[in-house]
Amino acid sequence: MKKFLLKLVAACAALAVCAGFCGCAAAGYTVFDDVECFSGDIMFSARILGGRADYAHRRMIEVITEINAQVSATRADSDVARFNSAPAGDRVSVGKHAYRLFNLSREYYDVTDGAFNCAAAPLAELWRVDAQSISQYRPDIDGSYISPPLPSAEQVGEVLPHCDPRLITGEERDGKFYLTKTDERVKLDFGGIAKGYAVDECVKILKEYEITSALLDISGNAYFYGRRVDNGQNEDWHVGIMSPRPRGGTAQARGYVCATSVYGDASAVTSGDYMRYYIHDKTDGQKLYVPHIIGTNGVPIGVASDGTDWRNADEWVMSATVIGDNSALCDALSTAVCALGLEHGAQLLKKVGYKGLIFTEKRYTIIGDVQFYKPDVYDGFTEYAFYEL
């Protein structure tokens, strides 16, 4: 198993989910240069076999650009930015992608009992884990960081009621789309689903341009289209799951925590606490790690209250990989599993019928029929104990 993981490491590198595409060019795949999308640290990569690959790739870039223009949380001219700054009661015209993402997010909010929440932006801003703040406070590659102040429990409790997507209504009329807020302070952020949605839109393009086989990846949101072709034979896709420890740094430095394989026509998405986070220096000398995923209680995962102060929780989900046929749903579910914790997150995946791998600091579990490979030794880290639900 150790050799299998090392072979995967030599074959590919990405942030969270890494698919084996070693030899893609030799097998006839067109390997396109990575393209920046959504933000500076999010990249789109594609390996395509058959059909009109160049045309398909060009069209996928166009669609991803369209989506970003409508839903970016950092662009002042995006539909989401215009909606967020609008007063309550104003009907805001939005594009089809923003409207679809809102409807999907509302559906997934209900499916996850609120664990996936596209309206948590005010809480993200309060905790300084929104896209703009996290880029400022996330530790640098050399380990240096800025320690920001934390909100009080009272502030969290005051903001939480304004973070409910049910405070927003959508309307389609005469081929146009509108969103209206009933609460002045409610805001949208589709960061937890936009990449998965974009991948699903790209899969439609692969079908349109008669592609035979492809690997698409938007910074860890991977889709395996068709079977992997190797020397004329149809094979499974090999998938390496990046280790969530140590936090930050490069994917190569962390290596793999495990690997699995996917037959094809499926997505694999990983969320976790280890890339988008900051460190708060407490007065007692302890370090508090604050990731960007916020739970239903309004507090980031891995953070707990001792009644007077915030502290690191005893156990939380640090990596959740979800495998299923819809990348947007995988994206939302991987975030929701982190927010819900090991047991409730696993129950959610069972309810939806998607497969998954969930890791905490101490243990892991497997949901569904997943081929699972793990190394005999975790380099420098405690081996995780299997937890059977």
- Among residues 183, 213, 233, the one where a domain terminates is 233
Could you tell me if 211 and 248 lie in one domain? Answer: no
Could you tell me if 242 and 198 lie in one domain? Answer: no
Residue 82 lies in a domain: no
Structural contact between residues 359 and 378, judged by C-beta atoms closer than 8 angstroms:
no
CA separation for the pair 293, 340 (Å, rounded) = 11
Could you tell me if 196 and 339 lie in one domain? Answer: no
- Among residues 211, 233, 255, the one where a domain terminates is 233
| pLDDT number for residue 74 | 87
Could you tell me if 209 and 253 lie in one domain? Answer: no
Could you tell me if 373 and 326 lie in one domain? Answer: yes
Residue 43 lies in a domain: yes
Q: Enter the tokens of residue 105.
A: 């997010």
Could you tell me if 200 and 240 lie in one domain? Answer: no
Could you tell me if 341 and 214 lie in one domain? Answer: no
Domain encompassing residue 340: 236-273+316-389
Instruction: Show pLDDT as tens, one digit a residue, over the chain (389 residues).
Output: 433 343 333 333 333 455 554 445 547 899 999 998 887 678 999 999 999 999 999 999 999 999 999 999 889 999 999 999 999 999 999 999 999 999 999 999 999 999 999 999 999 999 999 999 998 999 998 889 999 999 999 999 999 999 999 999 999 999 999 999 999 999 999 999 999 999 999 999 999 999 999 999 998 899 999 999 998 899 999 999 988 988 876 665 667 888 999 999 999 999 999 989 999 999 999 999 999 999 999 999 999 999 899 999 999 999 999 999 999 999 999 999 999 999 999 999 999 999 999 999 889 999 999 988 876 655 444 567 888 88
Q: Enter the tokens of residue 79.
A: 């539909």
| 264 φψ region: left (φ > 0), alpha (ψ -120 to 50), beta (else) | left
Residue 186 lies in a domain: no
DSSP string over 35-84: EEESEEEEEEEEEEESS-HHHHHHHHHHHHHHHHHHH-SS-TTSHHHHHH
Could you tell me if 223 and 253 lie in one domain? Answer: no
Residue 50 lies in a domain: yes
Could you tell me if 369 and 253 lie in one domain? Answer: yes
CA separation for the pair 168, 165 (Å, rounded) = 5
Residue 364 lies in a domain: yes
Burial readout 202-220 (b: 16 or more C-beta within 10 A, e: otherwise):
bbebbeebebbbbbbbbbb
Residue 384 lies in a domain: yes
Could you tell me if 215 and 340 lie in one domain? Answer: no
Q: Enter the tokens of residue 22.
A: 């070693």
Residue 160 lies in a domain: no
- Among residues 201, 233, 265, the one where a domain terminates is 233
Report how many domains make up the chain: 2
Residue 349 lies in a domain: yes
CA separation for the pair 291, 331 (Å, rounded) = 17
Could you tell me if 200 and 63 lie in one domain? Answer: yes
Could you tell me if 214 and 362 lie in one domain? Answer: no
Query: What is the separation of C-alpha 229 from the centre of its chain, rounded to a whole number of angstroms?
Result: 27
- pTM above threshold 0.85: yes
